[in-house]
Structure 1
């Protein structure tokens, strides 16, 4: 993962500042690893949040939790960070699947508050789904068929190991007794909340390894069965039906990565030659263009088109400009007037091979 990592759910906007989506769960769902469901009454203490039940379905959701997210390793446990952000979630627009459009709104948020009654603590909020706008979505939330949400936030963060090399690719590793993670220090803004079929679980069990918060990789009782798609197994060279293990998977990944690195190393010389050829072709196209246009040459065309052209385009430009220049300013011998051909390289003298050698030099 590059330092300027960017995708649909996570985007680093500048050093130490990012935009990302995080998942939440509806009240009544059990916390992972326990038999105790997360439970919280309406923010107003009234059924359906005090909303007209003929128009709205109102349900309490946990928006964000003071824990470490299990897949991307964002740490929301800094004291006061989540609690200070509670007001940001008041009256946000509700959407479905992050389809953000003024014509696709589904409802709104209401009454966000700090929840210190459940473990982990976090931000709860009532999501009000408009039955008239989307009766199907409202029915899904009302019956519990839809019970996950996802929120977009902007936030400041710090790296848990600032001097660690290859940081982004090592998130989740344990280094010096602590899990490599991104520590959220301030939530600056909240965008929208969406009902989704399944979001990233914010209730993931706190990372265990004493006070460090590092995951316990030796806890085999909580290990899940390893599953890969058929396409992924084929890509790694694992036969269908093979019983997977951590050792097998690690070996196949190392084998695949090593093979790719070898191929890349073998292609580097050709890539350099190709790059050199491209630059030479662009330079020739630029020279011909300037000769053809004279004072009328446009610098913005040179920088925006010629210097950014791919090889095929650069060659086409050369061919076009060569024909135009030849027609406009034909090249001729100053002594005899014989027409000459413009070339980007000088041919070897007759009877000589490239490099200054004569054909006779190669006879036995």
Structure 2
């Protein structure tokens, strides 16, 4: 397996011009693309239709290029480019098959990518143990597909998960079922949280056998250090992309990760950059969250009390600005809403590098 990560700027959610230029220049081979992660300039909330718009444009583009094979590509769009965050696509490719003889010649294990998806969920399953268990199973499958030896080599797990719409809630009620919440915005948090706990369960970061439904979006001491989950109305299942390093992979790319303890913990990324001084930084991926305590380093913040702007939008702007300053580039992937993704108020941050 040989994996590659390429960032592509976009001028709008439907813009594929730069993507096409990269394809024509040979920087991206459509047949090798397994996933596309994007940042779109919507509000990142329930009614952010820029995510679905971008997915539609990308599916149409790749279908024109590679036909029915385009249906196998995972599309994960994260809405919200507040502050300095720059709208863009992260195109993930994978070529080759079988086992590499050795990755020692390239300086160590190389980037390996695994993809999977769950079944479609019923509205009453979102934010509950059914979602946790299905995600855990899919994550284990993606890790195996990637040839990643163990949890210690998994450095980022990106998941796009569903949310509850008004229609879905009414449909469940008609069947006599109860959903986890009737607040569509809050359903995003429950879905993200259940997905993140599924990652933690799959990788042994928590005691899965002791986990209960009441822990979801309540027991903040339970979290994954590598999960990044984002909710949207454009799908009914969970799309999963596992990033890790493997001796069965080859090529110059590799990935590392850290954990931000709070929204201004830029040192989590700085330490990674210092640990790999001879490698080129390719992409930064992170989760952003407003501290549920209402405090950042013992100072009060107002993100949770703003009735005009959702707290996830505040958090994206803050974390995006901090990490863009550290790495010197605002075209990075920062997603809001980090329930059970890193410690309360913090979040995972990963960096893809290319050996020189």
Q: TM-score normalized by structure 1? A: 0.19
Q: TM-score normalized by structure 2? A: 0.20
- By relative contact order (CA 8 Å, sep 6+), the higher-ranking structure is 2
Look at both structures and tell me which one has the larger radius of gyration over its CA atoms. Answer: 1
Greater share of residues in strand: 2
